[in-house]
Homo-oligomer: A and B are copies of this chain.
Amino acid sequence: MARKYEELAQELEALISAGTLRPGERLPSVRETVASRGVSPSTVFEAYYLLERRGAVEARPRSGYFVAQRVADAAAEPRLMEPASGLRDVAVNDMVLEVLGSVRHRDVVPLGSAFPSPDLFPLDRLARGMSAAMRRLDPREVLENLSPGSEELRRQIALRYVATGTLASAEEIIVTSGAMEALNLCLQAVTQPGDLVAVEAPAFYGCLQALERLQLKAVEVATHPRLGVQVDALRAVLERHPVKACWFMPNFQNPTGALMPPDQKKALVELVTRHRVPLVEDDVYGELYFGVRRPVPAKSFDREGWVMHCGSFSKNLAPGYRIGWASAGRFAPLVERLKLTSTLSVAVPSQAAVLHFLQHGAFDKHLRQLRSTLARQQEQCVRLATRHLPAGTRVTRPEGGYFLWAELPPDIDALQLHRLALSQNISLAPGQLFSTDGRFRHHVRLNYGHPRPDQLEPALRTLGRLAARLATAR
C-alpha cells in the first residue's frame, strides 16, 4: 500500500510532468495544501521532502518550495530506432566478455557496470540472519532444500506476487542460481537449436548471449526507449515468422529503462497467448520503481500459463547470494527438470539468508530506502550527463532501475569511446553490446547505481571531453 505522503508526492510530480507546475514556480504552501487536501501538515512535509530527495523540487530558505530547474528537462529522449529486419545469428559474446572483463577493477569508475554498488545493500544484516538461520537448521533440511527449492521461500515469493495482482502459486516457482539461470532454463525449456526467438532492440546482452549459447536465432522487435517493446511490431513479426519464444523486459528494460504501460502489457500477453508463443519475462528491476506502486509484471495478465516470469533478489536485496526464481506457468515441470539435471539445486545458506530477511528483515523498509537513493542518483546523473556530454545528446529518464540510456551525436562511436574512457579508468557499456549487429553504435548505457558524487562529476566531464574529441576527429 502506498502511504499518504507518497500519493501526494506522486500527484505533484504528475502536475510537474504535465507542465501544470513549471520549473521555478512556487509550490502551494504547507498550510494551503493542508486546507485543500484535508491531510496533516506532516504528510505534506513528508511529500515535499520526498520530492526534494528526488530532485523534483527545491527548498529556498524563508520562501518555501519551488519546482526545480531540471536541466534534464532540456534533454530530449533517445529516438526509437527501427530494428534490423529478418532473422539473425547471434555472436556478441566476444565483445561482451571483452567489455565486461575490462570494467571489474576497483579503480575504475563503474559507469559500465551491470551491478549497483554493494554498499546499497544490507549485507551485514543478511549475514547475521543467515548465520542464525543456518545454526537452527535441521540437517535434514539440507536435502529438503534441493530443487525446486525451499518450500517456505517459494511461498514467500508467491506472497509477493499477490501485491501485484499476479496469480503464481508456490508450485510453479523454481528457485534458481540468480535470474540468469532462471531465464536460461526457461528459454531452453521451450526451444531447440536453430529456433527463432523474438528479442527487444536494443536487448539486454545477457539475452543475446543466451541465444548464442543455445544456438538460437534472433528476430528483433522495435522497442521504444520509454514505452518498451511495441506490441504492433511484435504482432507483425509473429504473423510472418515461426517464433518459438519471446524474451522481454516490460519493467525498466535493460539498457533503456523503458516501462511498458499496463494496457500494452495486457495486449502483449493476449497476443502471445493467441499465438501460443511462450513469453520469458525478465523482471529483475521491477522492485526498483520510483513511483507509488510496483509496476505490474506482464505475468499479471497471464491466464493460461504462457508467461514464464523470472525474478531475483540480486538487484534489490542480496547481491552475490545468487537467489533468483522462475514462475514458469505451464512450463514449470520442464524447467524444474532442466534445473535438476544441470545444476541440481541452489545453495542452502543463500536460500536461508533471503528467507530469514523476508520473514524478519523489514524488506519493504530497505526497498523504500534503496528506491529513494537510486531516484536521487538518477537525478544527479542526468543533470551531470546533460551538462557534460556533447550537445545533441539524448537521455532516457527511467521511472526505476539504475541505468540511463544515452544517444550521443551520430558521429561518436561508443566502442571507441569505451576504450578511450577505460584508459582514463572510467567504464561505460557501449551500445554495440545490445544488438545482434552492433547497430546502437552511438549509444551508451550509464549505471548510476554507485553513490560516489566525488567520482561522478569528474568522470562525466572526462567522458564529455573524450566524446567531443571523437566527434571532431571525424
Which among B118, B341, B344 is the interface contact of A213 at CB below 8 angstroms?
Answer: B341
Residue among A93, A131, A137, A184 with max Cβ neighbours from chain B (10 Å): A131
**A105 → B minimal CB distance (Å):** 10
Tell me, yes or no, whether A349 is within 8 Å of chain B by CB: yes
Residue among A143, A193, A320 with max Cβ neighbours from chain B (10 Å): A320
Contact across chains for A127 and B123 when beta carbons are under 8 A apart: no
Tell me, yes or no, whether A299 is within 8 Å of chain B by CB: no
Residue among A113, A119, A343 with max Cβ neighbours from chain B (10 Å): A343
Of residues 255 to 305 in A, which have CB atoms within 8 Å of B's CB atoms? none
Tell me, yes or no, whether A210 is within 8 Å of chain B by CB: yes
Residues of B within 8 A of A337 (CB): 93, 97
Tell me, yes or no, whether A135 is within 8 Å of chain B by CB: yes
Contact across chains for B142 and A135 when beta carbons are under 8 A apart: no
Residues of B within 8 A of A97 (CB): 337, 340
Would you call the interface of chain A mostly helix, strand, loop, or mixed? helix
Contact across chains for B106 and A123 when beta carbons are under 8 A apart: no
A143-B118 contact given A93-B337, A350-B347, CB 8 Å threshold: yes
Tell me, yes or no, whether A393 is within 8 Å of chain B by CB: no
Binding site for B on A (CB under 8 A): 93, 97, 104, 106, 113, 115, 117-119, 121, 123-124, 126-128, 130-131, 134-135, 137, 139-140, 142-146, 176-178, 180-181, 184, 193, 206, 209-210, 212-213, 319-322, 337-338, 340-350, 353
Contact across chains for B135 and A124 when beta carbons are under 8 A apart: yes
Q: A106-B140, A320-B349 given; name 9 further pairs at CB < 8 Å.
A: A123-B134, A127-B349, A128-B135, A142-B319, A143-B320, A145-B320, A177-B346, A209-B341, A322-B347
* A46 to B474 alpha-carbon distance, docked (Å): 81
Which among B140, B178, B340 is the interface contact of A343 at CB below 8 angstroms?
Answer: B178
Contact across chains for B181 and A342 when beta carbons are under 8 A apart: yes
Contact across chains for A321 and B348 when beta carbons are under 8 A apart: yes
* A179 to B177 alpha-carbon distance, docked (Å): 15
* A119 to B141 alpha-carbon distance, docked (Å): 11
Residue among A97, A134, A178, A210 with max Cβ neighbours from chain B (10 Å): A134
Contact across chains for A104 and B349 when beta carbons are under 8 A apart: no
Contact across chains for A343 and B144 when beta carbons are under 8 A apart: no
Contact across chains for A131 and B142 when beta carbons are under 8 A apart: no
Contact across chains for A118 and B135 when beta carbons are under 8 A apart: no
Contact across chains for A343 and B341 when beta carbons are under 8 A apart: no
Return the chain B residue nearest A180 by Cβ. B344
* A88 to B131 alpha-carbon distance, docked (Å): 48
Which among B121, B143, B349 is the interface contact of A349 at CB below 8 angstroms?
Answer: B349
**A351 → B minimal CB distance (Å):** 9
Contact across chains for B139 and A131 when beta carbons are under 8 A apart: no
Residues of B within 8 A of A350 (CB): 347, 349-350
**A128 → B minimal CB distance (Å):** 7
* A127 to B346 alpha-carbon distance, docked (Å): 16
* A142 to B213 alpha-carbon distance, docked (Å): 26
